[in-house]
Amino acid sequence: MSNILTISHLNKAFSSSQENITIINDLDLELESGTTMSITGSSGSGKSTLLNMIGGLEKIDSGTITAGEYIVSDANDEQLTVYRRHFLGFVFQFHYLLKDFSTIENVMLPALIAGEKKSSARERAYMLLQEVHLDDRAEQNVLQLSGGERQRVAVARALINDPALILADEPTGNLDPTNAIVVRNLLFSMVQKHKKALIVVTHDLEGIAKMTDICYNLEHGKLVQV
């Protein structure tokens, strides 16, 4: 299989008036298509920062990030928008659903923004809601859903534009243990069914981390395979 993501000599530091803190230090990473990877590490180690740089949400200091045909580290804002819209799917710790929209409208939204016709976007959104077992709630406002159900909607939304790579940042971090297991299992089943690559930042060492093909711990700015 070919690499879907290649990171070379990546560096990131944050400066304050008192000190300069290195978060990512000469980091290298390769991820093959269809592979699942977890990144663990202590709070403040830079896990989310690394994920945000891969997602084009945060600027790097130096190094290169290449994802598919996109040279993320050199991309301008317009190119990064295209990259995020067509290559990536995001699942965050908080679902970020729009409270004034129905369940299916929330799933459809990225496809509509990307220019897809409303009829086809709705059809595909409904199919994804079937896969996360929420098709019976499609027309309900998202405020009527539980926290676990909203996160399942977020998983469906992440897949609507058929991305090659899913980035998930503590996707079960706000859920009780029962719902965390449900969302975790759904995320992995959806990734496997749709043949997506996945990078997930997690503190769930006994659950999510053990389910991925590869697990790294971020220590002193570098990835150490667990």
Three-state DSSP state, 213: coil
What's the pLDDT score for residue 27?
Answer: 95
Span of 89-93, 129-133, 160-164 with lowest mean pLDDT: 89-93
Q: Please name the residues in contact with 117: beta carbons below 8 A apart, sequence gap of 6 or more.
A: none
pLDDT at 161 over 80: yes
What does pTM read for this prediction?
0.92
Over range 30-59, report the average pLDDT. Answer: 92
What mean pLDDT do residues 112-119 have?
92
Average pLDDT over residues 63-76: 95
Mean pLDDT on 86-112:
91
pLDDT in tens, 168-201: 999 888 888 998 999 899 999 999 999 999 999 9
Q: What is the pLDDT, as a whole number, of residue 172?
A: 87
What's residue 1's pLDDT? 64
- Report pLDDT digits (tens) over 10-36: 999 988 777 888 899 999 999 999 999
Tokens 């079937």 locate to 130
**Tokens 């690499």 -> residue:** 3
Alpha-carbon distance values, 41 to 7, 25, 46, 187 (Å): 19, 15, 8, 21
Alpha-carbon gap, residue 111 to 109, rounded angstroms = 5
- Residue 220 vs residues 21, 128, 193: alpha-carbon distances, Å: 11, 39, 35
